[in-house]
Amino acid sequence: EAAVTQSPRNKVTVTGGNVTLSCRQTNSHNYMYWYRQDTGHGLRLIHYSYGAGNLQIGDVPDGYKATRTTQEDFFLLLELASPSQTSLYFCASSEWGEQYFGPGTRLTVL
């Protein structure tokens, strides 16, 4: 079965802090995605990539950078974290429509 892992699982930082969320997939999928999940909004796409070195902007990209270093690894960067970025973050991978999700990272920005 497809495997997507995320680290850390929980993170607390302060306003203005620098945070990197990591995602690794062992599915050999080309597509990888970063979402945030907030009550009442479902999942919203932040950034996605269709291969190493590629980056595409999603629906809510402000305040986030991302980098896809290899086919397996996709990182989400918050360089100046703000309380509005407190959320549950999910990574996913896919070859086409069927996306496989990681367990999530809960980020709290104080």
Partner 1 sequence: GEQVEQRPPHLSVREGDSAIIICTYTDSATAYFSWYKQEAGAGLQLLMSVLSNVDRKEEQGLTVLLNKKDKRLSLNLTAAHPGDSAVYFCAVSASSGSWQLIFGSGTQLTVMP
Interface with partner 1 by CB under 8 A: which residues?
A: 4, 31, 40-45, 48, 50, 56, 58, 90, 92, 94, 96-104
Smallest separation (angstroms) from partner 1 to the CB of 69: 20
Reference 46, options 30, 65, 26; nearest CA is 65
Nearer to partner 1, 40 or 53 (CB): 40
Smallest separation (angstroms) from partner 1 to the CB of 47: 11
Nearer to partner 1, 9 or 16 (CB): 9
60-to-1, 27, 29, 37, 70 alpha-carbon distances in Å: 30, 26, 23, 11, 23
Residue 10 neighbours by CB distance under 10 Å: 9
Smallest separation (angstroms) from partner 1 to the CB of 16: 29
Residue 17 neighbours by CB distance under 10 Å: 15
Nearer to partner 1, 13 or 37 (CB): 37
